[in-house]
Each structure stands twice: as structure tokens, then as C-alpha cells.
Amino acid sequence: MKPSFIGDKRGVSEEFTSLPALMVVMIGFALFFALMATTYVTYHQKLDEKELYEAAHHAVLKLTLPESPLISEGDTDTPLIVSASISDISANDLTECCNLTGYDYRVKIYYYDEQGEKRLLPGTENLFTGTHSSGDTVSASRKIAVKFADGEIRYGKIVVTVWRKEG
């Protein structure tokens, strides 16, 4: 009786041609999934950054509306004037004006001195809602005018940095 080819114990070496082809396909696999994973991760990172920027942009626009506690006065020439003496502004005032769902933010107001150097307006060192940032942050800014007690107006900018609320 002839032995079945499955029962044939005489081993043969694998054909050489199929192994490199299998290797090429497996490399293709790896490259494809690496590319897909990179695209997916990058897309979500960009989406996250875009959402944070939208929140920061909304906050900076909202905080420079005429009814904002930061804006003291304005006229047609300089519509956005921040009084230099805003140390009485609290986080609660900020939240009442602009309460971003799911985000906290920090506000910093800068002015440019005689030498053109950027300086932080006193009283805005610790102006933030919620808790300190613990993750990614994105900032948006807008040009404003800062009015000092002696009536001098200097140009500066308001910078709002946004991060996601914890929990």
C-alpha cells in the first residue's frame, strides 16, 4: 500500500521563493498600520489643539467685549482700554463674564514700556479660573490699550491661556 503524502516522513526544505514574498507582505502590513496609527494620533492631536485654540479665541474675544470687567472704557479710536488698576478683578468676575464649559483659563495683560519692552501688568500675575493647568495649554491674544492712573495710555495685549478642566 502506498503511503499517504501526509504520512510521508521524508521532510523537504521549504521553497525559497515564497518566504521573501511573505516577508515583503509583512513589511507592507507593518508600514501600513504604522502609517495609519501615526495619521490617527496626529489627527487627534491637531483636533485637540484646534479645540483648545477655539476655546482660547472665544475667551479672549469675550473678555474684551465692552461688558467685560477687564474693559474699563473705550472710544472709537481706542475701543479696548484696560485700566492699569485692575487688581480687584477676581477669578469669580472672570467666570461671570466668560465661563467656558470644560475649560479653565489664565489671563495675563502686558503693556509695552518706553523702551518697547513687554511688561506684565501688576495685578494680573495670578488671574485664572479653576486650578492650575495640568496638561496641554493653548494661548490666544488680542491687542489692547492700557490706561494708567496718570492718564497715560500704553499699548499692550491680553493673553488668554486655556487648558482642559480636570476630572
Partner 1 sequence: MSKSPHLLDDIRGIVAWLISQIGLLLAAGVLIASIASLTFYSDWQKEAEAKAIASEIATAIETMDLKSESNITPYVFPFKNYHYNVTISTEYVTVMREGGTFTDVITAREALLIKPFIRPAAWDLAWNTSEELYDFLWRTYGGRQYAGNDTHPFPLNNENLVKQVKQYFSDELARTALQLARQPLRIEDTNEPIFLEKALIYFKHGNGDLDTMGIVIIHQEVPS
Residues at the site binding partner 1, with contacts judged by CB under 8 A: 2-3, 5-6, 8, 12, 14-15, 18-19, 21-22, 25-26, 28-29, 32, 36, 51, 54-55, 58, 61-62, 65-67, 96, 99-103
- The three-state secondary structure class of 132 is coil
> Closest approach of Cβ 95 to partner 1, in Å?
11
Q: Of 97 and 154, which CB lies nearer to partner 1 in the complex structure? A: 97
> Closest approach of Cβ 91 to partner 1, in Å?
17
For residue 54, give the nearest of 13, 105, 88, 128 by alpha carbon. Answer: 105
One-letter amino acid at 10 equals R
Rounded to an integer, what distance in angstroms lies between the CA atom of residue 19 and that of residue 45? 39
Q: Of 53 and 112, which CB lies nearer to partner 1 in the complex structure? A: 53
